Amino acid sequence: MLTKTDTLLAAPLPAWLHEPVVSPRLDTLGCFAGSPHQAPNHVLINEYRPGQGIMPHEDGSAYYPLVATVSLGAPIVLDLYEKKASGDDDEKGGRKPAFRILQEPRSLLITTNELYTQYLHGIAECLTDEDLGFDGIANWEMLGDTQPYLNSSYERQTRVSLTYRDVLKVAKVGNSVKFLTTGR
């Protein structure tokens, strides 16, 4: 749980969120080795149903600049936008993504460095992901199976994401009573 001061109340991740994602996969990759806690200490679970998305955003300064996202259920396209510059809008008045990443079921996407700090990420609110192919998807050559996208589109189904992060400020429960008091 994050408090109003972006401080996480210390608690271990439940075993079902720790294995098999953190151990052995993230541990083997060493992606959190440079973070303050050398492991993720926070997991956000989101469900995206067909037609649902999330507006372009950045995760903010409460987190170490690395995110590891596991996709479960159906695939989805993640849009990456350069931070706002004049003239970014397309002909319909919306922003055009700089990159589009197709996240397959059971895939792991690690976002860090400039991709974390210089880009916003979002998921379009649509029922069908379109323009799927080598020219429209940045990771097309890395996909395990392109067969479902041969018609250049995919009708969305429910997708669940597990977003692993390292929250920078952590307080032990004994020191956190001040966050939980009501001021009586």
Break the chain into its structural domains and give their ranges: 2-172
Between the CA of residue 19 and those of 25, 79, 130, 183, what are the distances in Å? 9, 28, 34, 40
Report the CATH number of the 2-172 domain.
2.60.120.1520
Instruction: Please say if the pLDDT value at position 151 is more than 80.
Output: yes
Instruction: Please say if the pLDDT value at position 179 is more than 90.
Output: no
The single-letter code of the amino acid at 165 is R
- CA atoms of 69 and 163, how far apart (whole Å): 4
Query: To the nearest whole number, what is the mean pLDDT of the chain?
Result: 88
**Quick one: pLDDT at residue 4?**
55
pLDDT band at residue 70 using 50, 70 and 90 as cut-offs: very high
Find the Cα–Cα–Cα–Cα dihedral 80, 84, 87, 91, rounded to 10°.
50
Find the Cα–Cα–Cα–Cα dihedral 142, 147, 150, 156, rounded to 10°.
-90
What pairing do the DSSP bridges indicate for beta strands 169-171 and 7-9?
A: parallel
**pTM (predicted TM-score):** 0.85
- 58-62, 81-85, 123-127, 171-175: least confidently modelled range: 171-175
